[in-house]
Amino acid sequence: MTTKESGDAAEARALAHLLAQGLTLVRRNYRVARGPNARGGEIDLILRERDGTLVFAEVRARRSASHGGAAASVSAAKQRSLILAAQYFLRTLRTVPPCRFDVVAIDGAQIEWLRGAFDA
């Protein structure tokens, strides 16, 4: 299995988990670019809670938690990238709903949903 295939599988697993918790999918793999020579950002999953909260979810997967686990791999740089992409996405909306950043960490067979994992 390629890295992309395993990433896609983890994302599909995370999406199924979040849908089972009552969230609805708004957008998948939302990408923005800063410019021709600058990296932008990508949000794996954008979902909506029943109360209207917009959830920007980062999916991280590791075969095991032996090296800090999946959740620990969401670095400060990755958080900045997610915040940038979220800001662009929010500009497309007429009104900005309550928002939060979640992480879905998959370590082997274990899945953990970290609500409000970090703030913008």
- Helix, coil or strand: residue 32: strand
What whole-number distance in Å separates Cα of residue 100 and Cα of residue 108? Answer: 26
Phi, psi angles (nearest 5°) of residue 42: -140, 140
Tell me the two tokens of residue 14. Answer: 């995370």
Lowest mean pLDDT among 11-20, 27-36, 79-88: 27-36
Mean pLDDT of the chain: 91
- Summarised one tens digit per residue, pLDDT across range 62-98 is 876 666 778 888 899 999 999 999 999 999 999 999 9
The domains of the chain are located at 3-118
User: What distance in Å separates the CA atoms of residue 87 and residue 64, rounded to the nearest whole number?
Assistant: 32
Fold of 3-118: Trna Endonuclease; Chain: A, domain 1 (3.40.1350)
What is the rounded average pLDDT of the residues 7-20? 94
